[in-house]
Amino acid sequence: MHRSKHFAAIVVACLFASCAKEPAKPVASVPADTAASLPAESADVLRAKLTAGGIATEYAALFEADQLGSILERRSVGSATLDGEYAFKGARLIEYRGAKVGDAAQVELQFDMQGILQSGQGPNVSEEDIRAIRNRAQLLRSHALAQCATKMHQQ
């Protein structure tokens, strides 16, 4: 019982840390040729692998002052490797750059703090594409925070 309370406290601490009100830094572009080298694991970088919805993914979650700032992702769709970069402010996705979830077409989306799309929708970007990116961002964010909590619990 004591361990489960301790673990719950760590999870809550990670979630609160991720929701802190610090200004988000702009997302830096990651050229396609450097995406193969996601940042190495460190005190501020969490590396993980995940398969969800039949899509194998490797990602690096970058933390700034114990707050999740961005996630760099490499996902395998068929024989293609697709890259994406998500920027967060607290729990909000504020920017996405990279391939659509299911194909190599590139998109750049920017959202405000209410989640309203500010730029990026065009004839080649559907509501379904935007929804898939938002859902994937939430999935990766949740997974990264859970991995962070697990890592803290093991220390």
> pLDDT digit string (tens) for 101-145?
999 999 999 999 999 999 988 888 999 999 999 999 999 999 999
- Give the pLDDT confidence score for residue 40 in this predicted structure: 93
Range of the domain at 137: 2-154
List Cβ neighbours of 106 (8 Å cut-off, separation of 6 or more): 97, 98, 99, 100
- Give the pLDDT confidence score for residue 132 in this predicted structure: 95
Res. 150 pLDDT band, cuts 50 70 90: confident
Long-range contacts of 25-31 (CB under 8 A, 24+ apart): 25/64, 25/69, 25/87, 26/87, 26/95, 27/70, 27/85, 27/86, 27/87, 27/95, 27/97, 28/85, 29/85, 29/97, 30/72, 30/83, 30/85, 30/97
- Domain total in the chain: 1
Answer yes or no: is pLDDT of 31 > 80.
no
- Residue 85 has φ and ψ, to the nearest 5°, of -135, 125
Instruction: Write down the pTM of the prediction.
Output: 0.76
